[in-house]
Chain A
Amino acid sequence: MTPPLISSVPNSIDQTTELLRQGGYVADRSLSTALFLALTMKRPLFLEGEAGVGKTEIAKVLSQTLGRDLIRLQCYEGLDVSAAVYEWNYPRQIMAIRLAEAAGKGSAAADSIYTEQYLIKRPLLQALEKHNGGPPVLLIDELDRTDEPFEAFLLEVLSDFQVTIPELGTVKADAPPIVIVTSNRTREIHDALKRRCLYHWVDYPNVDRERAILKSKAPNVGDKLGAQIVNFIQNLRGMELFKPPGIAETIDWAEALTALNAKELDASTVDATLGVVLKYQDDIARVRGDVAANTIAAAKKAAG
């Protein structure tokens, strides 16, 4: 692990691009703009896009380059307040009541068991606390995996950076965390939540940017092979497959081919490793063989 590169919050869009580049993330102008605004205006950033285009990575890179803690909340169906925000430590509370009763002060227990020492803090509450090195990066990952009721819990956190605990009061962050929300769009997120955020659709990169990403993420891959891989993948994305490959697949595939000592694409290696790129049998069956051979030829031509 390289030591975190401590730098301050960027002052311009160019600096934002540079900051991401330091963390090995190649961003286009639109993403840098959205991220820069999110950072300076202290608004959550809502990132939507297909799987494997690098949404989660942005939060990781931010926390690394800014030297902030990363607090991650992975969403799943049924996620509720007790797993995401806070929970009372019931065994300790019961113990406290029993001890108070034994000491003959049972009535006093009511006031003392709802204090911070009986509170178990979950990610959202942790993100509001003071952190060394500045406000943390809060990553709310794959929000579309939860059901609608959970979105309601988030509204207060995202708009006012505070959490209200009925028994205790309101916990408010001194300095708001940097919030990144991601969604794979397996369902629509409610407008009320989106309105509190800045929105950005993370698209597949174009050839040049994908080449740059590959260079930074998989430096061992040869130039020639890299160019062919990127062109091949870009062609696949135009084919209306059930699941077009993301950038994550490009990187995996480049590493796989390098591990197999491939210097450039050839039909048999591509057919053998197609499972790294395509994850559905129908897609693989469609591409394997002639289509792959033609695409390789086209990719080689385009790569020059």
Chain B
Amino acid sequence: MNLLPQNVMHFARILRRVGLPLGPGQVALALDALTRIDLGRRDDVFWTLHAVFVTKHAQSEMFRLAFDRFWHVSTSDDEGLIDRKQKLRSGEAQTSRRIADAFADMAPPSSANDDAPEPAITDMSASWSASEKLRNQDFETMTAAEMADAKLLLKKLRLPIPEVRTRRFVAASHGSRIDLRATLKASLATGELIHLKRKACVERHPPLVVLCDISGSMSAYARMLLYFLHAITNDRDRVHVFLFGTRLTNVTRELQHRDPDVALARVGKTVQDWSGGTRIGAALEEFNRNWSRRVLGQGAVTLLITDGLDRDGGAGLSDETQRLQKSCRRLIWLNPLLRYAGFEAKPAGIRAMLPHVDEFRPVHNLNSLAALIETLSLVHQPRRPVAA
């Protein structure tokens, strides 16, 4: 029994390595919790540690894998502990690697039970893998001069997104509302006539969700777009970035690394469908189904960066674009394909999407960060009035 604290600590260490953010507080809490249940029941131990260690649904599967591996041997057995320790030491790197790999490969959390049929995502990737080019990408690192340039340019960026008034207030001398609490306090301090103190609404950027195409036809812009996405992720809060080619990947966490080169290297490793085909409809469908309710909640603006060249010939694209547009505050489409001024919307993908975007921003010559930022900062007539 007295081996239990050690085991729990060791288990927590493994979970930490796998990526669960655990502090010593949680280990202490777990030990406390374990004294209150029947340790003979494996499922009770599992759900107890689960309640304490897991803080996100996505961690659940990883926890299960780690738990199964770790608590395989009986905990009350001395030999078992030594045995396991040796096993872990020899296979430690492999274990965490496997669990980490399992996490990277894992489909977005689905509500399917163990006994329920596998989610169709697996089938989809299996059937596509023949034609799908899976590759990682290395990026040229950014020079110091480029980095300085990028910072300067980004200051000029004015996304065509007005700030939104929130329901929070700050003290403001000419605010529209009277701050009663501050007024009363001030009047007590002076004991004189009551001077009205005022407050005004806080305005802030709405959340921004970027869906960026990284297929073959967009590969020329990939590096620059990613630097842009990195800069914007670190510049403001509430930004989510997804990349898609034949599959959809959430790279928000990778892009949050301060150093742009490290961030891009991580993105390059995480995303597996660089410069392959594009299935915009499927990617948007996956986004709508698995992510839209999670990231578009607070009136987010969506920036869709794609040339609209779709391998599926625009199948299902119209419906999914419409669903996306209805789920967010504004849908802005940045299209870098249009190299000639006399462009007409010919490809099926473009025709399917165009009626459903709030704003269409073509870029005729997207060869630099400057051009990109300039295009995004142009003031355009919105296609529909901005709904609050």
Residues of B within 8 A of A238 (CB): 112, 116-117
Q: A185 to B37, alpha carbons, bound, how many Å?
A: 29
Residue total for A at the interface (Cβ-Cβ under 8 A) = 53
Per-residue CB proximity of A237-259 to B under 8 Å, as 1/0? 11011101000000000000000
Q: A184 to B50, alpha carbons, bound, how many Å?
A: 19
B6 at the interface (CB under 8 A from A): no
CB<8 Å pairs between A and B, sample of 15: A12-B38, A29-B43, A37-B52, A41-B36, A43-B29, A78-B167, A88-B180, A144-B297, A185-B57, A186-B297, A188-B294, A195-B55, A199-B50, A201-B54, A242-B289
Smallest distance from the beta carbon of B52 to chain A beta carbons, Å?
6
Residues of A within 8 A of B52 (CB): 37, 198
B297 touches A37 (CB 8 A): no
Residues of A within 8 A of B120 (CB): 240
Residue total for B at the interface (Cβ-Cβ under 8 A) = 48
Q: A219 to B23, alpha carbons, bound, how many Å?
A: 47
Partner of B47, one of A34, A144, A237: A34
Partner of A77, one of B26, B48, B298, B323: B298
A110 at the interface (CB under 8 A from B): yes
B115 at the interface (CB under 8 A from A): yes
Per-residue CB proximity of B36-70 to A under 8 Å, as 1/0? 11100001100110111011110010000000000
Q: Tell me the B residues contacting A by CB distance below 8 Å.
A: 21, 23, 25-26, 29, 32-33, 36-38, 43-44, 47-48, 50-52, 54-57, 60, 111-113, 115-117, 119-120, 166-168, 180-181, 184, 187-188, 191, 288-289, 293-295, 297-298, 319, 323
Assuming the A-B contacts A97-B187, A238-B112, are A199 and B297 also in contact, with contact meaning beta carbons closer than 8 angstroms in the complex?
A: no
Q: A183 to B48, alpha carbons, bound, how many Å?
A: 20
Per-residue CB proximity of A77-98 to B under 8 Å, as 1/0? 1101000000010100110010
A261 at the interface (CB under 8 A from B): no
A33 touches B323 (CB 8 A): no
**Nearest B residue (CB) for A144:** B297
**Nearest A residue (CB) for B121:** A240
Instruction: Please report the number of residue pairs spanning A and B whose Cβ atoms sit closer than 8 angstroms.
Output: 121
B293 touches A90 (CB 8 A): no
A30 at the interface (CB under 8 A from B): yes
Which residues of chain A in 28-64 are interfacial with respect to chain B, using CB atoms and an 8 Å cutoff?
29-30, 33-34, 36-38, 40-41, 43, 48, 50
Which residues of chain A in 1-37 are interfacial with respect to chain B, using CB atoms and an 8 Å cutoff?
12-13, 29-30, 33-34, 36-37
Residues of B within 8 A of A50 (CB): 111
**Nearest A residue (CB) for B298:** A187
Q: A78 to B298, alpha carbons, bound, how many Å?
A: 11
Q: A113 to B180, alpha carbons, bound, how many Å?
A: 14
A195 touches B184 (CB 8 A): no
**Nearest A residue (CB) for B169:** A80
B50 touches A78 (CB 8 A): no
Q: A107 to B323, alpha carbons, bound, how many Å?
A: 63
Residues of A within 8 A of B166 (CB): 77-78, 147
**Nearest B residue (CB) for A187:** B297
A191 touches B21 (CB 8 A): yes
